[in-house]
Structure 1
């Protein structure tokens, strides 16, 4: 059974249509990435999935007792606030020191537990936000432009950690991003969105699809191939998932 099922979703803001007849699913254990230009409805789709906005038409269905972990685009913290990473992760309550240690380890930064939040780099802070989302042991991890502001190396490292999280915890991942070839390389399935679903499939298939290239050009395919060559090729899970593409006119 799918964790999330979206059927004929339409989202409007006044006279503006953000999403038109979008249908998709998210299955257990898979990494799905939504890519699209600015204003394509990516954030509206994520907000509809978590229930933050009500669709104009269509519906979003969740599996029973679905637990969702959310990594935001950014989180503003007063730099003068004297708070450690451990204390920050304990703010949501009901969290043990073991929970915090395990979440930081899963996020790839176990050494940061006693660090001051104000002294973290941008990449370290995003790992802490990832740990914060992992504490509840989610079935589905949602990331909304989670590496905005990081350089390409930092972004690539973060998304490789997301693969590790999926492989070790079994959670599904839905990512929204504009960092095309980096985030696509960490994905089992990519959905190209421009108010409607233009095309979807494996990263390599989507990168070569005419509908994708009409939006982003042809340069991403070469960058995707280069990144995959440098990557550790730990994509056994991906190799057996969704070896097809669907193009929607």
Structure 2
């Protein structure tokens, strides 16, 4: 099997009203796949099925033998009164060497934060520390559940660039749920629109033009899928850039 994971014909939830029906998905080595869909469309459920935290009612998930998965949860609530440093947090649940911890923090853009209290970090720093913890075991597949929720737009763009760099550095595949219907990392190889089933999938450009996508999300940006593009992308990419018309709240 060449894919890191392959799911076929997944169904989950009560028979009469399944949360997911007939969902098939695969992620190849080094590929970035982004899942988008409205609230309640089954995105987090699908991630849990892929990881193996839930079992499907029908269908099957195959993981490459010995697959190492790094997981960045949607949000993690830490008791603010609990004194725990970033470095100590990386030791949960298994202790890691200092060199390993340092390398993971550097790779995730959290270098130099080891001595800081978790409770004192900004939203963006906190996400980068969660990312560092996920890459400690040099994963072949990095799974991220709405990792940029609560970050402002520059914070989101910076986080997406970080993921691209990690994919390059450690060669991992990436499966990411995006909470922003209209904003998808332009480096995505494939975007999958989920609404209980897969409505459409393809490259970001193909998906943004798909009628099913327009039907689901065709409001916020005139139906255009907004891509985070780097400045240097403009020179060699056709198509206009989409603009964001809604307010982002500032990074906490």
- Find the residue that maps to 1:7 and give its secondary structure: strand
Q: How many Å apart are 1:69 and its aligned residue?
A: 0.5
Q: How many Å apart are 1:90 and its aligned residue?
A: 1.3
Matches within 5 A, 1:63-212: 63-212=64-213
Distance 1:223 1:23 in 2: 23
Distance 1:67 1:80 in 2: 33
8 Å Cα contact 1:139-1:171 kept in structure 2: yes
Q: How many Å apart are 1:13 and its aligned residue?
A: 3.5
Flag the 1:223–1:7 CA change in 2: closer, same or farther, 3 A: closer
- Find the residue that maps to 1:214 and give its secondary structure: helix
Q: How many Å apart are 1:117 and its aligned residue?
A: 1.0
Superposed CA RMSD: 1.9
Q: List gaps (5 residues or longer) in structure 1.
A: 237-249
The C-alpha deviation readout for 1:184-206, integer Å capped at 9, x for no partner, is: 42311100111111111111110
Of stretches 178-187 and 161-170 in structure 1, the one that deviates more from structure 2 is 178-187
Distance 1:104 1:59 in 2: 35
Q: How many Å apart are 1:24 and its aligned residue?
A: 1.4
- Find the residue that maps to 1:127 and give its secondary structure: helix
TM-score (norm 2): 0.87
The C-alpha deviation readout for 1:189-233, integer Å capped at 9, x for no partner, is: 1001111111111111101111101000162665626x42x4443
Q: How many residues align?
A: 233
Distance 1:47 1:208 in 2: 29
- Find the residue that maps to 1:162 and give its secondary structure: helix
- Find the residue that maps to 2:198 and give its secondary structure: strand
8 Å Cα contact 2:217-2:223 kept in structure 1: no
TM-score (norm 1): 0.88
Q: How many Å apart are 1:40 and its aligned residue?
A: 0.9
8 Å Cα contact 1:180-1:220 kept in structure 2: no
Flag the 1:48–1:14 CA change in 2: closer, same or farther, 3 A: same
Q: List gaps (5 residues or longer) in structure 2.
A: 237-252
- The ranges of structure 1 where at least 4 consecutive aligned residues each deviate by more than 3 angstroms after the TM superposition are 220-223, 230-234
The C-alpha deviation readout for 1:158-179, integer Å capped at 9, x for no partner, is: 1111111101110000001121
Flag the 1:162–1:220 CA change in 2: closer, same or farther, 3 A: farther
The C-alpha deviation readout for 1:27-69, integer Å capped at 9, x for no partner, is: 0001000101111111111111011111111000000100001
- Structure that is richer in helix per residue: 1
